[in-house]
A and B are shown apart, each in its own frame.
Chain A
């Protein structure tokens, strides 16, 4: 009983935390009349992740940050009039969060990576460590932002049980999904399609301590702002950089998954050149900071263990005789993975039926992103020095899951037939 009440309170805490900044952007920026609470939540999540990242490098008592934000949010209560305007959708959001919270509370298991890689980092923070004290841990080369978020809400939860930290992942995931609801002027018929999208992208196993769902949600949020902002100005620049910065500190693969974001930003016709230059500058800067801090912490540069060292990559490349077998095996597992996450299959079908759009620049750009994602995920396994069958079985699904975040908007807007301003795909 007490755990269920604590879970409900945790939901309230998330609402308070992620509604803190709510008056700093203009709703006229958007293509559609879609100034929803989920926009506010998602922007706050992005800012909050970057604040947490900053504090993770210092030995600062997390309780201070937690209660400071909580007190600030109480002053904010008078602004919660959104409940009147968006009560029905908020009700759905609340119900679905609680259902999936309860699912984790009931079965608080951690998956393999959750136990071996991410939980030890959480434990480090829980007992007073910071980013630099991770140096002695196994998998020190894996980044830590997801673990720090997990720790933050675990440490400051009512019952101080581990899974409370992971409930944040559920909340963020659903914010990134419900965000799209505002796009079609509150047509509540489309909520069924929203639930269908959840069915396509929700995987219970990924909430067992894995980090993929966080990257998925952040990319999903980026894509929402990318397609729904009329004029992509300084606000969009900041949001995009903060998202990229979060993604590269959640998983090492994040560095490769921000390449499509960079590409879309640079080819967009509605972004001024000056912002494009600034974006490139900041992307390079955050990558330099990421590498420098990791070097400072570990003392040397490592990337996903020995599996992807330069030496190992070279050896894999000269094994010509294995090329055909590898390609066959990888393709076989790709097909299996597409059935596990059918958003891929639906994307391929939609792309096929929308081929008449091939002349449109936004359609072309989308195709380029899909091809990049497929090639990247293929190369990860083609260059792998691990047992390929095993590696594909344990890792390909999750990589394809992250990549599917770029497909979400495409499937959603095609299923709902939403027209939104100057963006058509």
Chain B
């Protein structure tokens, strides 16, 4: 039990909801940006309408969070994760939201 952190795990399950635990493992704006993408997806339906670029290459793509399992050519929204540059993208895109290293753009 101790080896598996059983008591700590139980305590965390009691005190953190499922969504919070998902944010802990997939990150809000870091790692795979689960929290950021989820908050946007609750407002706008991103499925089959988004391109997600994660600048930290050690993580799998984050399309799973919007139930879109591959890149598509025609999309309205663009999400950048772990993007630390200050300059914005070209004028084809309008910035809708920005939080720490995450950006949400919409095609003009």
Contacts and interface: CB of A to CB of B under 8 A. Distances in A.
Contacts of B67: 123
Contacts of A108: 18, 21-22, 25
A116 interface: yes
Contacts of B18: 3, 108, 161
B26 to A, nearest CB: 7
A123 B22 contact: no
B5 A103 contact: yes
Contacts of A138: 69-70
Nearest to A116: B60
A109 B21 CA distance: 9
A4 B60 contact: no
Nearest to A3: B13
B64 interface: yes
Interface in B7-29: 9-10, 12-14, 18, 21-22, 25-26
Contacts, number: 53
Interface in B75-105: none
B72 interface: no
Given A1-B14, A116-B61, A138-B70, A107 B21 contact: yes
B9 A102 contact: yes
Contact size range, B? 20 to 34
Contacts of A1: 13-14
A119 interface: yes
Contact of A115 (B1, B6, B64): B64
Contact of B4 (A103, A105, A116): A103
A138 B12 CA distance: 35
Contacts of A116: 60-61
Contacts of B22: 108
A1 B5 CA distance: 17
A137 B69 contact: yes
A106 B12 contact: yes
B60 A115 contact: yes
Interface string A1-13: 1011000000000
Contact of A102 (B6, B60, B64, B69): B6
Interface of A: 1, 3-4, 99-100, 102-103, 105-110, 112, 115-116, 119-120, 123, 137-138, 161
Interface of B: 1, 4-6, 9-10, 12-14, 18, 21-22, 25-26, 60-61, 64, 67, 69-70
6 contacts: A99-B6, A102-B13, A105-B9, A115-B61, A119-B64, A123-B67
